[in-house]
């Protein structure tokens, strides 16, 4: 298996919503994101989604709805020729003080254990400061910020951060192209 690319979901793969994505009908791909995942798959990367879903801990949505949303996402990616190997999500809220809610690295460590991932060769793509910090906390090789979703706000925040992202991409497709180049480097 090739190197691993961890992807945040909301604002990276699909359009984010302040009211949460609560049902498959509310799940809408960001343009070119299924094709971006297909490009990574076909270039030999393993793609794993790492996502905070506090709507579960807030009892806004049953787990079955979240699973149905994941199925829709995986099916859309497969239709484009890509593959999502697995999805790890944090169901908690801040007050739970868990070790898996990004920026904590717990979800990435769960994936690392299950798939024996060499984190020092892994990439993380996100649209929020917490994604970049999660990548650093987990020891991922490269952290990429996309401008979709919360990316613009995060960019302003991260420019004041002592640990800026390794790359800023227009969207996931642009990020995928950069990752492929970077891994060949
Ligand atoms: Mg996000």
∠ at Cα 184 (179, 185), nearest 5°?
95
- 14 CA from centroid of ligand 1 (Å): 9
DSSP states along 13-66: TB---TT---SGGG--BPTTHHHHHHHHHHTT-EEEEEEE-HHHHTTSS-HHHH
**CA 110 – CA 13 distance, rounded (Å):** 21
- Taken in order of first residue, the domains within the chain and their CATH numbers are 4-184 (3.40.50.1000)
Per-residue pLDDT at 1:
57
Note the pLDDT of residue 107. Answer: 98
Check residue 9 and give its pLDDT.
98
- Structure tokens, 100: 């898996």
Q: What positions carry a catalytic annotation?
A: 8, 10
Residue located via tokens 């979703």: 149
- In angstroms, rounded to a whole number, what is the distance separating the alpha carbons of residues 77 and 145? 21
Tens digit of pLDDT for each residue in 114-161?
999 999 999 999 999 999 999 999 999 999 999 999 998 898 888 787
Segments of the chain with pLDDT less than 50? none
Residue 170 CA to ligand 1 centre (angstroms): 14
């Amino acid at each position: 298996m090739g190197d691993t690319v961890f992807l945040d979901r909301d604002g990276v793969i699909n359009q984010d919503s302040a009211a949460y994505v609560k049902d498959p009908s509310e799940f809408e791909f960001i343009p070119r994101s299924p094709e971006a995942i297909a490009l990574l798959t076909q270039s030999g990367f393993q793609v794993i989604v790492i996502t905070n879903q506090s709507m579960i801990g807030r009892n806004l949505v049953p787990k079955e709805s979240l699973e149905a949303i994941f199925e829709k996402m995986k099916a859309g990616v497969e239709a484009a020729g890509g593959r999502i190997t697995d999805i790890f999500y944090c169901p908690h809220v801040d007050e739970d003080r868990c070790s898996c809610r990004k920026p904590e690295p717990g979800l990435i460590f769960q994936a690392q254990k299950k798939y024996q991932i060499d984190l020092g060769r892994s990439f993380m793509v996100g649209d929020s400061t917490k994604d970049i910090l999660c990548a650093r906390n987990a020891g991922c090789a490269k952290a990429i910020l996309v401008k979709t979703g919360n990316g613009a706000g995060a960019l302003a925040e991260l420019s004041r951060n002592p640990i800026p992202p390794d790359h800023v991409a227009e969207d996931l497709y642009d990020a995928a192209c950069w990752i492929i180049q970077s891994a060949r480097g």
